[in-house]
A and B are shown apart, each in its own frame.
Chain A
Amino acid sequence: MKKALVTEIRRASFHDGPGVRTVVFFKGCPLRCAWCHNPECLSFEKEELYYPDKCIACGRCSEGCYTGARSVCGREMSVDEIFGEIMGDMSYFGKDGGATFSGGEPLAQGEILSELLDKCRSRGINCALETSMLIWNEEIFKKCDLVMADIKIWDSDLHEKYTGVRNERIKENFLALDALGIPIIARTPVICEIDQGLDRIADFLSGLKNLVSYELLPYHPLGRSKYEALGKSFTEFSVPSKEYMKGLSEKYVYLQRKT
Chain B
Amino acid sequence: MYTYKERLDAMRKTKIAHTLAKRKQNGFTDLDDFGTVPISEGYKVIPWYNSENGSFYGLDGMSDNFCRVIGAHEPYVDKNEMLCGRWRDMLVNYRGDIHYMPDWLKNNLKNEEFIKKGATAQWSKRWDEQRFPYDHLKDDQKKYNITSGIDSDAHFACDYRIGFELGFGGLLEKINKYRKINPDKADFYDAEERCVLAIVDFIKRHTERIKEMIKTEKVPEIRENLTEMLRVNENITLGKPSTLHEVCQWTVYFNCASRIYTRDGAGFQLDTLLYPYYIADKEKGILDDEKAKFLIADLLLSDPHYYQISGVDANDNDMTNPLSYLILEAADAINVSCNLTVRVHPNCDREFLKKSVFYLMKNKNGWPRFANDEALSAGYMKNGLDKQTARERIAVGCNWLCVPGREFPMNDTVKINIAKVFEVALSEMKNEKERSVERLFELYSKHLEKAVSVVAEGVNLHIDHIGEVTPELIMNLMMKNTLERGEDISRCAEIYTVGVDGAGLAVVADSFAALKTRIEDERVLSWEEMYESIENDFADRRIYAMMKSTPRYCSGNSVADAFAKRLTDNFVCKVKGQKMPQGRTLVPGWFSWARSIEYGKTVGATPNGRRSGEPLTHGANPEAGFRKDSAVTAQSSGIASVQCGYGNTAPLQIEFDPGVTLENGGLERVTDLILGHFELGGTLININVIDKEKIMQAKDDPDKYPDLVVRVTGFTAYFASLSPAFRELVVKRFIDET
Contact = CB atoms under 8 A, between A and B. Distances in A.
B665 interface: yes
Contacts of B628: 8
B381 interface: no
Interface residues of A, number: 27
Nearest to A65: B545
Contacts of A8: 628-629
Contacts, number: 89
A64 B524 contact: yes
Contact of A63 (B524, B548, B673, B680): B524
A207 interface: no
Contacts of A92: 633, 636, 672-673, 676-677
B549 A12 contact: no
Nearest to B548: A66
A56 interface: yes
Nearest to B549: A66
B71 interface: no
Given A20-B633, A66-B542, A66-B545, A91 B680 contact: yes
A18 B667 CA distance: 12
Interface stretch (A93-101, A143-151, A240-248): A93-101
Contacts of A10: 629, 631
Interface in A1-58: 8, 10-14, 18-20, 56, 58
A89 B633 contact: yes
B655 to A, nearest CB: 13
B546 interface: yes
A171 to B, nearest CB: 29
Most A Cβ at <10 Å: residue of B546, B628, B676? B676
B322 interface: no
B637 A88 contact: yes
Given A66-B549, A68-B549, A91 B676 contact: yes
A67 B672 contact: no
Interface string B541-560: 11001101100000011000
Most A Cβ at <10 Å: residue of B634, B659, B666? B634
A203 B672 CA distance: 37
A123 interface: no
Interface residues of B, number: 33
A94 to B, nearest CB: 3
Nearest to B680: A91
B664 to A, nearest CB: 8
B665 A88 contact: no
A242 to B, nearest CB: 15
Q: Is the interface of B mostly helix, strand, loop or mixed?
A: helix
Contacts of B636: 92
Contacts of B666: 14
A85 interface: yes
B666 to A, nearest CB: 7
A95 B631 CA distance: 19
Interface string B588-609: 0000000000000000000000
Contacts of B234: none
A88 B548 CA distance: 24
Nearest to B678: A91
Nearest to A17: B665
Nearest to A69: B545
Contacts of A13: 629
B698 interface: no
B26 interface: no
Contacts of A94: 668-669, 671-672, 675-676
Contacts of B659: 14
Contact of B637 (A56, A60, A91): A91
A88 B556 contact: yes
B31 interface: no
Interface of A: 8, 10-14, 18-20, 56, 58, 60, 63-64, 66-68, 84-85, 88-89, 91-94, 96-97
Interface of B: 524, 541-542, 545-546, 548-549, 556-557, 627-629, 631-634, 636-637, 659-660, 664-666, 668-669, 671-673, 675-677, 679-680
Please name the 8 residue pairs, one residue from A and one from B, whose CB atoms are nearest each other, closest first: A94-B672, A92-B676, A11-B631, A91-B676, A12-B631, A66-B545, A12-B633, A67-B545
Given A19-B672, A66-B545, 17 more contacts: A14-B660, A14-B664, A20-B633, A56-B542, A67-B541, A67-B545, A88-B556, A88-B637, A89-B633, A89-B637, A91-B675, A91-B676, A91-B680, A92-B633, A92-B676, A93-B672, A96-B668
16 contacts: A10-B631, A11-B629, A13-B629, A14-B660, A14-B665, A19-B665, A19-B672, A56-B541, A58-B541, A60-B542, A66-B549, A68-B545, A91-B680, A94-B669, A94-B672, A96-B665
